[in-house]
A and B are shown apart, each in its own frame.
Chain A
Amino acid sequence: MTAFHFFNCAILTFGPHAVYYSATPLSEYDTLGTSMKAALVYLGTAIVKLVCLANFLKVSENDEFDPYQESLKALIGLVDVAGIYFALTQLTHRNISQNHKFQAVGLGWAFADSILHRLAPLWVGARGLEFTWDYILQGLEANANLAFSISMAALGSLMWLRRNKPKTLIPLIYICALIVATMPSITSYLRKKLDWHFPEVVGFELGSSLVMAFISWQLFSACQRRSS
């Protein structure tokens, strides 16, 4: 029964990535390699981030929101953006269209994040006898994260790869990218400063991820129309 629960949480956490891959044209163009490269870049980024966090951040005993520390954390969080930049521009991709490239990168990115951050707690926790909602919520969080990663990749590809974007949309693109990039800090602020509980935070993440995904989708298709 607990294995059952583990299975449920696992498909909630990792299922959407597989569904995304198989449902969209990504599977038709065989972009698994791109996703994997992105995942490896994520791994490298995670290590760099860890080193930065370990070097520059004090370990706070109490779970308080310290603006200085948090802004430092947000700054280190920008390493992620650099990682996505690297994955989008510097890696040699097979000839796939920009349209599919960013999706593959975002997908690989989110999947690596899920594996690294969620698999171990899931394995340890959800198989135990004790029932908590945490692992279901964590699965939902993985979904939100997928949407964020793909939006970020989409915005990144708009910023760095597309030459002829409509001038009016450029500020909007940068604002959206900034919001998505600082999302971890925002949720941390909500949790620590405003004392939101985990379900509320997850709800917020799901809602905002939907909004951001929709906006970036519209932005991307607007630019697409313009260039075509």
Chain B
Amino acid sequence: MSSRKPGDSDVLSSLYSMIPLLFLLLACVELSDAAAAVDVYRLVQYDISGVPFGSRLAALNHHAASLHSSAGADLSRSVLIIPLRELNISLVKEYISQKKTLGGLLLLLPQMFNFESGDMAVTKDDIHEMERLKNLLVELEELLIHANIPYPVYFAFEHDDIEAVLADIQRNDVNGQAATPTNGGYKFVVSAPEPKKLASPIMTNIQGWLPGLKPDGDTNQLPTIAIVASYDTFGAAPALSVGSDSNGSGVVALLEIARLFSLLYSNPKTRGKYNLLFGLTSGGPYNYNGTHKWLRSFDQRLRETIDYAICLNSIGSWDDKLWLHVSKPPQNAYVKQIYERFSGVAGELGLKVELKHKKINISNPRIAWEHEQFSRLRVTAATLSGLSSAPELFQRTGSLSDSGNLVSEDAIRRSIKLVAQSFARHIYDQQEDMPVFADDSSLAVDLSYVRLWLDLLSRTPRVAPFLTKNDPLVAALKKELAEHTHEVNVQHELLDGLFTFYDSTKAKLNIYQVASVTFDLLLLLAVGSYLIVLFSFLVITTRGLDDLISIFRRPPPRKSKTG
């Protein structure tokens, strides 16, 4: 006995020393072994003067349920998955208005709204369905953005993995079966920290000057034409809010117009007697707060030199008619002049431009059009837009449905031509039909340039509070504007305190197939009885039945060394 002891303790101690090593090793292995991991995009969360809106939670850990679950089922502890294709908007309305609680909501969007999936060929049959889905999505977004939803709401794109899971869940819900491991009990987990307030959101305005020709050299005395587009967006999911039409199309048009006029202005012969001011403004969705700050930063004298300003907004998906929105009555001489020039050029190009007047109500904080910020400072301005009526707050500011494949390059090209031509007519004081930007000339609208920028903007979410000061997009816009203009300035401004935003806009959803507790209990029972049977079998074969019986007769079994 004593001779064996030291050897044994050696063995044991060497084993013990390995145990911490083993655990150290295991601690390094982070487990993430989900059936599927899906990119999900959270519904925006924000406050307006302290009043909460949007989805108020980010973390998710619940079983999944579908719309097919029985009507009376309690969904307060499950994640409801709704594909947009099957969405019944009145159901969502009901849930929101009656403040029914859910564990979470996951909305599946068709791939055609995914800016990351690249170009999708849209066939003719799809167009009708697409239109329906688009309208539905717009309605849904409007509902979600303006509601206070006390549970996490996520968007995801249709995907093979998640569709298989959804089909499983639906099958179970239809059959009314409880979730079991083999037929699809799924748990959706998003491990996200509590959303934090974004500290002081910053808006970045970029401006570029193209000075006109003045014989005595002081270009500050020259009249100025401003062309402005707001580049940031706001949508239901900040990480998906690319706003190709609103207002990517305006930004693209502005850049192309800057390029065209920089060509003209580089030659002293064609350098006009007007300064051109290009402004890419931020804060568009928030009553054009950035434009407001930008204009305020101008010197009064400088502001007075602005002859007029044209704001570009949503000019990428109109069919036959553009609208010129103004806030001064059409009888106003300046407005009349602008409109006549535009409609004249439009006539030559075979387009239609219609004037629309909307009075400014000073007491109303809502500013629907960018030109209203100019008008409030008594600068003549108009907004050229494909929209016929003024959008409400957060309407047409880059919604989920506003994706690149719904924007027509041709519409943008025609808009660019219209604006550039009417500017040229004003600057060079042309009277009659004399196309400066003819299609086959060196000053033709460069479609590949338009496409390039539209493509970039259509895949870059740009909700102002989530853009940093040195965001690559801002830097790219600045660089591009610097290519075509002189004196590019970048201005950082704080977004006015009414709005508060929260982070965690994007997350990974892990989908786990889970077993129910009952299953584990049954398994324990099975394993336990297997071990008991094994024990009995071994005792009977090696020691005989009597021993087995004696073990049960006299617990605890006394080991008798009689063998």
Contact = CB atoms under 8 A, between A and B. Distances in A.
Interface of A: 1, 4-5, 7-8, 11-12, 15-16, 19-20, 22-25, 27-29, 32-33, 36-37, 40, 94, 119-120, 123-125, 127-132, 136, 139
A146 to B, nearest CB: 10
A128 B511 CA distance: 12
A28 B559 contact: yes
A8 B523 contact: yes
B543 A130 contact: no
Interface stretch (B25-33, B145-153, B219-227): B25-33
A128 B189 CA distance: 12
Contacts of B120: none
B527 A130 contact: no
Interface stretch (B4-12, B205-213, B345-353, B412-420): B4-12
A119 B467 CA distance: 47
B561 A128 contact: no
Nearest to A32: B8
A19 B536 CA distance: 9
A131 B514 contact: yes
B192 interface: no
Nearest to B527: A12
Contacts of A125: 31, 33
Contacts of B514: 1, 129-131
B24 to A, nearest CB: 12
B174 interface: no
Contacts of B523: 5, 8, 136
Contacts of A124: 26, 29, 31, 33
10 contacts: A4-B517, A19-B535, A19-B538, A20-B538, A36-B11, A37-B11, A94-B4, A124-B26, A130-B35, A131-B185
Interface in B484-512: 510, 512
A139 B535 CA distance: 17
A129 B187 contact: yes
A22 B443 CA distance: 93
B531 A19 contact: yes
Given A1-B520, A33-B7, A130 B33 contact: yes
B360 interface: no
Contacts of A28: 559, 561, 563
Nearest to B8: A33
A8 B528 CA distance: 9
A120 to B, nearest CB: 7
Contacts of A139: 527
A123 B523 CA distance: 18
B534 A23 contact: yes
Contacts of A29: 563
A61 B226 CA distance: 62
A11 B189 CA distance: 28
Nearest to A18: B531
A219 B224 CA distance: 106
A4 B520 CA distance: 7
Contact of A15 (B7, B181, B531, B559): B531
Contact of B515 (A5, A20, A32, A40): A5
A134 to B, nearest CB: 10
A22 B532 CA distance: 12
B289 interface: no
A25 B563 CA distance: 9
